[in-house]
Structure 1
Amino acid sequence: MKILVTGYGGQLGYDVVREGTKRGLEMIGTTSSDLNITDENRVSEYIHQLNPDAIIHCAAYTAVDKAEDDKESCYDVNVNGTRYLAKTAKEINAKFVYISTDYVFDGKDEISFAENSIPNPVGYYGKTKHQGEQIVQSLLDHFFIVRISWVFGINGNNFVKTMLRLAETRNELSVVGDQIGSPTYTFDLARFLIDIIQSDRYGIYHATNEGFCSWAEFAKEIFKQANADVKVNSISTEEYPTRAVRPKNSRMSKKRLVENGFASLPHWKDSVKRYLKELTQEVK
């Protein structure tokens, strides 16, 4: 099976290519320098020539705060780029996985959002990702939409790396404690994506590590497992203002994943443990 993966330079794309290669699949990872997904002609030419069996679309404009002011670039990547890829996937009859986000929900309820919950994004980034979902559903008969949250992986920057870096010079930090979600290790997520792309169980899925926590609780667990003596003060979202509004509740139900016979991802605390080990091995 030949699989094209966009966003290879990012955390998830990198791990998807690594996992697929490990399983003997032909993986082609592209970065923006290999394939500019906002160029419709280039997308069509590249993909028709490659003729993959499947496309896993990990590339995205993910600078949430910057997106509020740089709307044109965000729209071009997240909406137009997705449209061009999905359209070409249809032309060559390739399976298509669109990576979406918890940001398509407003996060205003205390519930876990289900796969069929009505999206209501509050920020521009989330709005463009929701538009991407709508495009995929309108253009393709068979698709996978996979919503993820709070990712961390070996390739790129993330919350875990930031906390570890701050721990080198700080012994006390203030971290938001009223935004709840599921930290998700891209190594675990990649395994699910390779499983799903080899199936025909199409539809919308939520794929995150098991368990929920706040950013402050996430930070405390990172420091605990890394044996870093850092005090974490839990503060409110209002005390840490950002350009973009973020959903306070990013709990997502993974019911459909389990119903369709896929294994649940491990608990996020277990994933942090394995990730810290991977980081240590990389340094060596």
Structure 2
Amino acid sequence: MQIQRKTRKPRIQRLKQQNRRIKMKKIIVTGCNGQLGRAVNQQYAGSTEYELVNTDVAELDITKVDKVLELAREVKPYAIINCAAYTNVDKCEVEQDLAYKINAIGARNLAIAAADTGAKLMHISTDYVFPGNVSAHPLTEFDRVSPKSMYGATKLAGENFVRDFANRYFIIRTAWLYGDGHNFAKTMLKLAETNDKIGVVMDQVGTPTSAVELAKAIKYLLPTDNYGLFHGTCEGDTNWAEFAAAVLRLAGSKTEIEPITSEEYKRRFPNSADRPAYSILENYMLKLTTDFSFASWQDAIEVYMKELLAK
């Protein structure tokens, strides 16, 4: 009897593990190698309920509807999280067709696949859908959109396609995102290595948002039926120059930040696209419909810098 128990126990454990794998809900993640994609993977690491099917451009071309449908029908996902985007604001002005393919058609194709397979769709958008004019109050989900850049126009087109084709969807607009990858904070640290002074724009305001905080919001919303449009940024606001100064202070750098105007920046970099002067979003729908809240931008950047400097 003792010998039988010893031989049967591992088999029972294997069967339980197989059953757990069978019951796990699969989530297709696009743009898995980007800042947000990596943060999403971090949030779901070790999950016994969800299994991520990670894709990037090498695994899935979201601009091809047949490829997207093929993968979705094979995986039969519980949800699709779209972290893929063409985010180079300057290049979007030049490579407009590519920007529309990735930011608009890609979103459309994922929405079609989500509807076809009964999956939920989590789509990430941007503050650039707004005109960027100075506002008397933080922008809510109910304020009028009117993008001034090609990046904003293509992302708004993506939002509209999601609304048109997906049955169960979440759209989260975020801003000034940073995480594990190329970002503004790392650019400042790199420049500080060889410069005693760095000129940074001081008349563009918004909220630096941690990819980790956004991934937490995604994980919070996804199991719910609280569908629709949301803003998702860290709390509080600042400008680029103050944000840069905070990054360098936390890094212990002696490099000075020189606040400059957007006009001065354009003189130095004449080919750069216009950036919004005002990008402060209010997470109004989250406040109205949930008890979820983002960390302040100050707390979030402090956490990020501690982890970055510890590497």
TM-score strictly above 0.5: yes
Residues 220-244 of structure 1: per-residue CA shift (max 9 Å, x gap): 1111111111211111111111531
Alignment of 1:11-160 (within 5 A): 11-24=35-48, 25-110=50-135, 111-154=137-180, 156-160=181-185
More off after superposition, 168-177 vs 107-116 = 107-116
Residues 229-261 of structure 1: per-residue CA shift (max 9 Å, x gap): 121111111111153111100011112112222
Give distance in 2, aligned partners of 1:15 and 1:219.
Answer: 22
Amino acid at match of 2:51: E
Contact 1:19 1:191 in 2 (8 A): yes
More off after superposition, 103-112 vs 120-129 = 103-112
Amino acid at match of 1:164: L
Give distance in 2, aligned partners of 1:55 and 1:116.
Answer: 25
1:140, distance to aligned residue in structure 2 (A): 2.3
Give distance in 1, aligned partners of 2:307 and 2:79.
Answer: 29
Contact 2:119 2:168 in 1 (8 A): no
Match of 2:172, SS?
Answer: strand
Say whether residues 1:276 and 2:301 are aligned partners: no
1:262, distance to aligned residue in structure 2 (A): 3.6
**TM-score, reference length from structure 2:** 0.88
Contact 1:68 1:243 in 2 (8 A): no
Contact 2:36 2:179 in 1 (8 A): yes
Say whether residues 1:227 and 2:252 are aligned partners: yes
Contact 1:14 1:29 in 2 (8 A): no
1:38, distance to aligned residue in structure 2 (A): 1.0
Say whether residues 1:251 and 2:280 are aligned partners: yes
Which sections of structure 1, spanning at least 5 residues, go unmatched?
A: none
Amino acid at match of 2:36: L
Higher RCO, 1 vs 2 (CA within 8 Å, ≥6 residues apart) = 1
Which sections of structure 2, spanning at least 5 residues, go unmatched?
A: 1-24
Amino acid at match of 2:248: F
Match of 1:97, SS?
Answer: strand
**TM-score, reference length from structure 1:** 0.96
Match of 2:263 in 1: 238
Contact 2:197 2:256 in 1 (8 A): yes
Q: Which has the higher helix share?
A: 2
Contact 1:148 1:207 in 2 (8 A): yes
Give distance in 2, aligned partners of 1:150 and 1:72.
Answer: 24
Give the total of aligned pairs: 281
Contact 1:21 1:27 in 2 (8 A): no
Amino acid at match of 1:6: T
Give distance in 1, aligned partners of 2:47 and 2:305.
Answer: 24
